[in-house]
Structure 1
Amino acid sequence: MAASSTRYKDKETGTVVLSFSGKWVSWTHTAVAYAAFLSALAVGCALHYHKIVQNQWYGYPDEWFPSVSATIGDRYPERSIFMLLIAITSGPRFALVGLWYLLTARPGFALPKAIAICGVIRSLTCGGWTYITSTDDHDWHDILMILYLVFTIPWTAGCLALSPPNAKAIKYRKYMAGAFFGTLVPMVYYFIQHKIHRVAGAYTTYAFFEWTLILFDVAFDAVTALDFDTFELVIRDVKGASKGINTSSVPTAVLEKEKEKATAEVFAAGFHVGDALDIAADVYHGFVFWSTLTSLGVVIWYFPLWHMGISGYEAFVMSTISPVLLGIKPLRSLVVKNQRIVHLLSLAGLLAYKVTDPAYRLFTVAFGVWMGCLSWTATWYGDSAHPARLEARILPWIIGLVMSSIAKFGWYTNNPIWPIMHAENGGWNGTGLFLAVLAALRFTGRRPIQSEDAGEKTGSALLAAFGVGGLLFGLHSLLSDTSTMILWAWDGYPIRGPVSNVHAWYTIAATTSGLVIGLFRPGAVVTWTAYGIASTGAAILTLYQQWFGYYGALTLAAYLTSISVPLISSAAKKNPVITFGLGFFIYNFMVLFHVWVVAYAFVPGGPLVREHTDWIMICMMLMIGAGVFDLISQQSRVGRKKLVRRRGGASGHRKYYLGALGILNILFLIFNILRFPTNDYKPYHANDRLFTAGIWTIHFSFDNDMWSSEYRIRDLLKELEVDVIGLLESDLQRIIMGNRDTTQFLAKDLGMYVDYGPGPNKHTWGAALLSKFPIINSTHHLLPSPVGELAPAIHATLDIYGELVDVFVFHSGQEEDVEDRRLQAEYLARLMGSNTSRPSVLLSYLVTKPLQGNYNTYVSDTSGMHDVDPSDWDRWCEYILFKGLKRTGYARVSRSTITDTELQVAKFVVPRQGMESHLAWTMGKEFRDRQVREDEVPEGWRFPAMFRDQGVRGHRYHVFDEPRYFNF
């Protein structure tokens, strides 16, 4: 370190007591930070090697390299050494942030201040997760670690964007940033292999990536040494770099171009708070549109459910065709010139939650959708003369879909501002409406550039309409929820593909990447090559499962968002009555088609499209292809370069929209971490080797008053201490049902493993299994159904107290289809009897009377199964059967207003391995079915007393007024 102790005064320089180059702040920070981590690693390996490589599943030799947390947080003296050195690091760390701000600050620029704030917060959170270890407080350690990673993103991007014109520093920053974020992907992958799949050695590989991440993180900040040599402390700028002067031999223009390339020109045009607020309002307004549109099908679905067929309310699906009104020229001019009023009226869809009557609530939502489709079409048409302005209107609409999907992930596939939500089930309707009003006012603050006809002469409005219809359907049916395509690829345990609460971000990443490609490389998107790749992806998604099927899904997702801007931009310049009026009508037809493939038994002509999801995908891609054909035809007439230049080109608004996408992705990752499964679930009565099993038809998670019922379902299952539950009518992954998944919320909140059952591309009403016990294996079955609706079944093997127990969840066909139900009974009886030695439970919906007809096929020598209570004469649909277990109790609990079917539960004790089977097998049927008093069974085996008499919240023991207990 160079030092000077000269003690003279100079009018220009002042008094110099001590001086040294600013680069030593960087080097000191780098050296001490590395010393803190590496010394802890060395001491830990020397003193506690076997202890710090041990994790919750494995130890040495399966795991042989320690993680960062285990090294710095669990043992003395390495923890103390680390904390001492990391405390010393804090001094040069804050000095580094301060010097960077001084170096980059410019009058009138807010970005350097924002990055400095991020740097300070990042430093504080670093101290938080290093001083509060996972051993001290796991939650706060994780929260502070997440915040550290979150603020690392803007810090890294900001340092790249604000880099002084120094070629070497820019190059190293790009390398270090790319290496840092590239390391995150394999690190997360191997953490999932360890945490979810329990792969031996995976945690060691994860630890290597974790340590590498530390090295790259510190190295990124070390690059500031190449910039700080412009400073001499006490602080004096001796080279003028802080004034923006280029001291490099490379021309400034070249360096600026290199910097813009590294940051995708995101910060090239500066940053203004007002513009950022405009973009936030625009994106939120797009989110409101998609929230309202996706809620329409949900509130329509309520009515055919209760009518058990077509109700007439399905006609409201046509609420989207309001753009046909723009064919009336005076009305078109009125709407375009008064967009604020129309956009504000569209918010009626959010206000609908205040309407208690289901029919009127539907009317209110339909009105909101009608005005929303009209207002957005008018907005696009009104700004179609200016490509950049039009693009700035289309982007928030697409990003609003991404935001809607992220909000649904955060709320376990329910949108918090849907009209089926309210405060009692997790809704944020009031807050959402308030923000929507502010967003709509700001969104409509800029007047349209045109208000009269300015249609594009080239291209076909009809082809564009087909393209819009196909695109809308693809975006809505596949991308409005991150779990939809994952469940298309789901095929049971052991897990061989993506799962919704771990891998859902891949869908968001694909949609984000597709949108960015469509913006910056439109010429690569509007090609038959890209369309062919997307069509291949659609075919793979339709025909295959597991990871391969999901790779097709990601390909299709990226294409749908990438083609959105070109397709809608072209459609906006044509006759809006055709492009959007007809386009929405085509979309509506696809929505109905989407339902008919599974509801074929309830609609006229339904059997013609029975189980033809493949036809849906073909139609969707052909319609998008019509739009692509129109775009390519325009290219050939207008000229490819000219058209791409007209639609493309960097615009100032893009940096904000890309920033919004980045923030939304960060928000999703935070949700993702919070939802990460723990896989440490505990049954309620492990000491008694007892489990409670139940069957419940949840009626698509709709209660009688059109509210989403997940919270009420959870409360009853928790209070009844249910360990294994079969849910029927549980597949909600269609537009008309909101693309929801109730099992995600229940599994997380109740602490259970979940098998969704046959996916949405299997054309059933759904069967799901949730279990406190590990699901070792599961297979999905579609039982013979030559005439009626498909009958889904799950055959799962659970590890219950060390014993393998088979659990079957089954939904039989309709009463009208007698032959279907006979064939299904024979199939399931053979399936249940295929493993005669293993204890089994059937949780089912059989559509038969006790002791009659198909009942005697299910309860037979073929199946080996016994009825949980043969004396219960009042059943028709739900039955619990069992074998090889000690049945101790059975109860029927009233549903209140949650659904149309009661909850049935039974308690079983699992015999220990090697013991004789249930004593009743040797004592005859009369002894086996003999009932005993409640006081004759242990207290831990009894059902909760809270549901006696009048019960709670409308739930009580009914039919026989109290639980039944049996001799064993």
Structure 2
Amino acid sequence: MGSTYKDKDMGVLFAFNGKWVSWAHTAMGYAAFVSALVVGCALHYRKIVENQWYGYPDEWFPSVSATIGDRYPERSAFMILIALTSGPRFALVGLWYLLTARPGHVLPKAVATAGLLRTLSCAGWTYITSTDDHDSHDVLMISYLVLTVPWTAGCIALSPPNAKAIKYRRYLAGAFFGTLLPLIYFFIQHKVHRVAGAYTIYAFFEWALILLDVGFDAVTALDFDRFELVVRDVKGESKGVNTLSVPTAVLEKELLAYGKETTNVAAFASGIGLGQAADIAADVYHGFVFWSTLTSLGVVIWYFPLWHMGISGYEAFVMSTISPILLAIRPLRTLVVNHQRFAHLLSLVGLLAYLVKDPAHRLFTVGFSVSMGCLSWAATFYTDSDHPSKLESRILAFMLGLIMSSIAKFTWYTNNPIWPIMHAENGGWNQIGFILALPAAFRFTRRTVVQSVNIRERRGGSALLSAFGFGGLIFGLHSLLSDTGTMVMWAWDGYPIRGPASNVHAWHAIAAMSVGLLIGLTKPGIVTTWTAYSTGCAGAAVLTLYQQWRGYYGGLTLAVYLMAISVPMIGNASKKNPALTFGLGFFIYNLLVLFHVWVVAYAFVPGGPLVREHTDWIMLTTMLLIGAGILGLVRRNSDARTNTLRRRSATAGIRKYHLGALGILNLLFLLVSFSRFPSNDYQPYHADDRLLTAGIWTIHFSLDNDMWSSERRVRDLIKELEIDVIGLLETDLQRIIMGNRDTTQFLAEDLGMYVDYGPGPNKHTWGAALLSKFPILNSTHHLLPSPVGELAPAIHATLDVYGELVDVFVFHSGQEEDPEDRRLQTEYLSKLMGSSPRPSILLSYLVTRPLQGNYNTYVSDVSGMHDIDPGDWDRWCEYILFKGLRRTGYARVSRSTITDTELQVAKFVVPRTREDRDRVWVLEREVRDRRVNEDQVPAGWRFPAMFRGQGVRGHRYHVFEEPRYYNYD
């Protein structure tokens, strides 16, 4: 529009249209990056395309960071131009605030604040390069990406009714966040898998983010053309051309009239504000609390049969979830429905269970919390079922809570920070979690629709079929999607890695869950068809039958389907009798949970052998139950189609907030994923001495004697003993009853070790894992003969130890009650060890007395293995055997209260040459049991002195009261 002030020539020195602020920002921003790219390629092309693994011609296009980094003059050109960009940038944020600000609305202020902080953080990561200060650069870069979310979402939410601008913003924002996925994928290919050329492709996506980011802000030119920026001399003393002045009152009147136009433009968004956003945040967090409490129940129950070595009676608390059956009592149902806030608040008591020291009382607290949570959520679903927008909001909060729970577990290495097995000492955030849960519960329940005493029964469709479907759905979601690593472990089959890894590819699961939820939200008619159901069944079959990427892709297909069907299935269940759909549904879920345990714990439960090793039966039962729910949905669909358009219009306003929450959760997950990329540059503790320190420890499912998660205590002892290679037993925690956890993720990443998880949860063992400072070149998993008792897992791995190939075997034998199983397993493993011509170590749980019975098969000419110390008479389970290595030391370290088994450690020197290794084979037969004093071995070979005497934290050398050392020559 033309300038009113120019026309009147009233002291105007300079005036220009507001769109030029946007164009100036766009031009200077692009110029800064493009100039650096052109100058860098012209002067230092081969240097800026080179990375830590490859150079030209494998890599032929530079990344943004390499381009704008340390080299002169491209860095200087970039910094000068990016500094000039700051003026238009601040002006752009200010004009956007003036365009969207309205009295009494906080959202425009919040968006402007995010824009301002985003601009400042941009200055930080552009002027502080990764070479200057890597940590500061990364923190500022992550801050910029995090602040991009509220800025982008806020700009879209506050956009004036300009169809062209809104369209461009949505396209550019979608492309920006969509580009993050391939960006991360190719970064992983470069950083982890060291694929030649991957960094070049990554660079293209990185540059695309720059173009899209600046382009998003360029769209403001379509909105700012209504502004005119004026510089006027109000005193008339300027030496400029236009010196005629106009009374200030006249100018203010015209400005007020113009401001009225911009205010009206933004008035369309009068219903948008932080209040609704806070409601959605509270809903999602309340859903997160429910899933956190539900997933913790199995862990606190598992503690009791674990320490009783059999059924304890506390397993009955698994039925805490069937509390919705109480809604069958009409007076009680009315009471709960009309006082939902009280019921939801009672469900929060589980967050305070960490304050209860006695394990049994802590279980009672969690059981009550789960009971109230299931009851209150069932009542809420039922109450809101007559209000499509409210019901959809509740379901989305419930499902987003599951996604948030999975993200929290990934962030805390598969532990949830508000679980009752967590506290401050092991990384828990229980107090913060409860403080946030209180206002979330209050806000969640403040919009509850109050029903009359006589609650109308919903009709149409079968409540029984809905209960079947709901039970199967909740079990599928809990067993497979409550942790991002569960399906990865199903597909894992050792080294070399031919499939997904938990810390690298976890975002696949979150992406699949998000896509599924979007499909179920926007296309419910598609997911309720038999075609979609068949696709889900196919994914379940592939996950069950295959490993590596094929099996994982089947799991991702199933994840998409489960999340998609959850929206219509829970919605349909909400319209039926809640006592039947939710009460019976949770009962069916409980039966599946028990089934899920019995397939591996068959030796400890009556009738267990009937379901022994039948995870395939569990998957089949789950999909059949979901199919029953689909049958009920298909029958009901014809009656519901007439209300589709009305329902869409009613929910469209709130839905975008949930989608925004979903986007924020995904972005946060991606940022956490970046921090967990493995470096794969691990170093042994005593490389100069060519020393290998090996250990074996049964960690009792990472629950200590007092029901606390024990990963950090395990980590501390392994680190202080300077262990390079360790076998861990009783490590398979990827089941509902064990919390769907994975201790090896934390230990491997914190200690800087490669990890082989061993046979996965679909292999029906108690678990065996290997962690190593040395690269694992190859590993195979074995399930040893077990015709009667529990399956015995074993890992056979080949390590690169100082350039020599060394085999390591990790093995957990069967139980004492099954002697025939143990005999067959002994023969199998002895032949397996004997088949290796390389130096070898066995880290094992053998269930035998020294020098007796099966011991003489393990230590024999068949295996070629020697006992680390035949004179150690006080052993029953744990043993370390070896061949082809120079043994220098052996120690037993007490467990404190971490577990029920000590940690055994052995030290070896790896021969430098083949001749030296052959000499070791001969020498070991003659002098392998000769002991020497500590002062006769080099200092680097000795065990840490801190564990002598009383030791530290309850850990000390025991049985011998000090380590044993052996003749080296």
TM range (shorter): over 0.9
Residue 190 of structure 2 is aligned to residue 191 of structure 1: no
Match in the other structure for 1:276: 277
Match in the other structure for 2:53: 57
Match in the other structure for 1:264: none
Give, in angstroms, the shift of residue 415 of structure 1: 1.1
Match in the other structure for 2:76: 80
Give, in angstroms, the shift of residue 587 of structure 1: 0.7
Residue 32 of structure 2 is aligned to residue 36 of structure 1: yes
SS of 2:68's partner is helix
Give, in angstroms, the shift of residue 642 of structure 1: 3.4
Letter in 2 for 1:580: F
SS of 1:18's partner is strand
Residue number among 496, 511, 518 corresponding to 1:516 in the alignment = 518
Spell out, residue by residue over 1:204-261, the C-alpha distance to the aligned partner (whole angstroms, 9 max, x if none). 22222222322332233333334434333327999999766899xxxx9xx99xxxxx
Match in the other structure for 1:465: 467
Match in the other structure for 1:855: 855
Residue 138 of structure 2 is aligned to residue 142 of structure 1: yes
Give, in angstroms, the shift of residue 643 of structure 1: 6.2
Give, in angstroms, the shift of residue 868 of structure 1: 1.5
Letter in 1 for 2:886: K
Residue number among 98, 114, 117 corresponding to 1:118 in the alignment = 114
Distance 1:242 1:779, change over 3 A: farther
Letter in 2 for 1:450: Q
Distance 1:274 1:171, change over 3 A: closer
Match in the other structure for 2:740: 739
* In structure 2, distance between residues paired with 1:455 and 1:3: 64
* In structure 2, distance between residues paired with 1:272 and 1:918: 77
Give, in angstroms, the shift of residue 649 of structure 1: 4.8
Give, in angstroms, the shift of residue 59 of structure 1: 2.4
SS of 2:958's partner is coil
Match in the other structure for 1:540: 542
For structure 2, the 5+ residue unaligned runs are: 232-250
Letter in 2 for 1:91: G
Counterparts of 1:215-364 in structure 2 under 5 Å? 215-234=211-230, 270-364=271-365
SS of 1:427's partner is coil
Letter in 1 for 2:50: Q
* In structure 2, distance between residues paired with 1:482 and 1:455: 39
Give, in angstroms, the shift of residue 165 of structure 1: 4.5
Counterparts of 1:691-730 in structure 2 under 5 Å? 691-730=692-731
Distance 1:240 1:521, change over 3 A: farther
Give, in angstroms, the shift of residue 405 of structure 1: 1.4
Distance 1:882 1:535, change over 3 A: same
Counterparts of 1:426-437 in structure 2 under 5 Å? 426-437=427-438
* In structure 2, distance between residues paired with 1:45 and 1:651: 48
SS of 1:748's partner is helix
Residue number among 551, 565, 581 corresponding to 1:579 in the alignment = 581
Aligned residue pairs, count: 946
Match in the other structure for 1:393: 394
Distance 1:648 1:466, change over 3 A: farther
Match in the other structure for 1:665: 666
Give, in angstroms, the shift of residue 30 of structure 1: 2.6
Distance 1:847 1:51, change over 3 A: same
* In structure 2, distance between residues paired with 1:14 and 1:858: 102
Match in the other structure for 2:842: 842
* In structure 2, distance between residues paired with 1:668 and 1:13: 57
Distance 1:206 1:944, change over 3 A: same
Residue 609 of structure 2 is aligned to residue 607 of structure 1: yes
Q: Contact 1:635 / 1:643 at 8 angstroms: preserved in 2?
A: no
Distance 1:715 1:126, change over 3 A: same
- TM-score, normalised to structure 1, is 0.93
Spell out, residue by residue over 1:646-686, the C-alpha distance to the aligned partner (whole angstroms, 9 max, x if none). 58852433233222222222222222222222222222111
Residue 876 of structure 2 is aligned to residue 880 of structure 1: no
SS of 2:123's partner is helix
* In structure 2, distance between residues paired with 1:652 and 1:178: 19
Spell out, residue by residue over 1:585-606, the C-alpha distance to the aligned partner (whole angstroms, 9 max, x if none). 1111000000000111111111
Q: Contact 1:385 / 1:454 at 8 angstroms: preserved in 2?
A: no
Match in the other structure for 1:565: 567
Spell out, residue by residue over 1:142-192, the C-alpha distance to the aligned partner (whole angstroms, 9 max, x if none). 121122222223333333444445455445444433443333222221111
Higher deviation after alignment, 153-162 or 851-860? 153-162
Match in the other structure for 2:634: 632
Q: Contact 2:192 / 2:677 at 8 angstroms: preserved in 1?
A: no
The share of aligned pairs that are identical, in percent, is: 76
Letter in 1 for 2:775: P
Distance 1:847 1:191, change over 3 A: same
* In structure 2, distance between residues paired with 1:720 and 1:739: 29
Distance 1:918 1:334, change over 3 A: same
Spell out, residue by residue over 1:481-522, the C-alpha distance to the aligned partner (whole angstroms, 9 max, x if none). 111111111111222222121221221222222222222222
Q: Contact 1:522 / 1:648 at 8 angstroms: preserved in 2?
A: no
Give, in angstroms, the shift of residue 699 of structure 1: 0.3
Distance 1:643 1:87, change over 3 A: closer
Letter in 1 for 2:593: V
* In structure 1, distance between residues paired with 2:389 and 2:212: 38
Spell out, residue by residue over 1:300-335, the C-alpha distance to the aligned partner (whole angstroms, 9 max, x if none). 101111111111111111111112222222222222
Q: Contact 1:231 / 1:238 at 8 angstroms: preserved in 2?
A: no
Higher deviation after alignment, 172-181 or 137-146? 172-181
Letter in 1 for 2:829: L
Distance 1:291 1:167, change over 3 A: closer
Letter in 2 for 1:626: A
Letter in 1 for 2:413: Y
Higher deviation after alignment, 713-722 or 391-400? 391-400
Higher deviation after alignment, 297-306 or 926-935? 926-935
SS of 2:692's partner is strand
Higher deviation after alignment, 605-614 or 639-648? 639-648
* In structure 1, distance between residues paired with 2:462 and 2:664: 38
Give, in angstroms, the shift of residue 54 of structure 1: 2.4
Q: Contact 2:337 / 2:450 at 8 angstroms: preserved in 1?
A: no
Letter in 1 for 2:326: L
Distance 1:409 1:14, change over 3 A: farther
Match in the other structure for 1:929: 929
Match in the other structure for 1:205: 201
Distance 1:14 1:784, change over 3 A: farther
* In structure 1, distance between residues paired with 2:840 and 2:284: 52
Q: How much is the aligned-residue C-alpha RMSD, in angstroms?
A: 2.7
* In structure 2, distance between residues paired with 1:74 and 1:330: 73
Give, in angstroms, the shift of residue 273 of structure 1: 2.4
Letter in 2 for 1:420: I
Spell out, residue by residue over 1:711-750, the C-alpha distance to the aligned partner (whole angstroms, 9 max, x if none). 1101111111111111100000111001111111111211
Match in the other structure for 1:912: 912
Match in the other structure for 1:505: 507
Give, in angstroms, the shift of residue 644 of structure 1: 7.7
* In structure 2, distance between residues paired with 1:73 and 1:465: 60
Match in the other structure for 2:153: 157
Match in the other structure for 1:262: none
Q: Contact 1:110 / 1:271 at 8 angstroms: preserved in 2?
A: no
SS of 1:831's partner is helix
Letter in 2 for 1:43: V
Residue number among 574, 592, 602 corresponding to 2:594 in the alignment = 592
Match in the other structure for 2:780: 779
Letter in 1 for 2:900: D
Letter in 2 for 1:736: I
SS of 1:500's partner is coil
Distance 1:645 1:560, change over 3 A: farther
SS of 2:912's partner is coil
Q: Contact 1:25 / 1:95 at 8 angstroms: preserved in 2?
A: yes
Q: Contact 1:566 / 1:647 at 8 angstroms: preserved in 2?
A: no
Give, in angstroms, the shift of residue 810 of structure 1: 0.9
Q: Contact 1:385 / 1:449 at 8 angstroms: preserved in 2?
A: no
Letter in 2 for 1:337: N
Higher deviation after alignment, 74-83 or 399-408? 74-83
* In structure 2, distance between residues paired with 1:238 and 1:431: 48
* In structure 2, distance between residues paired with 1:212 and 1:805: 46
Give, in angstroms, the shift of residue 91 of structure 1: 1.6
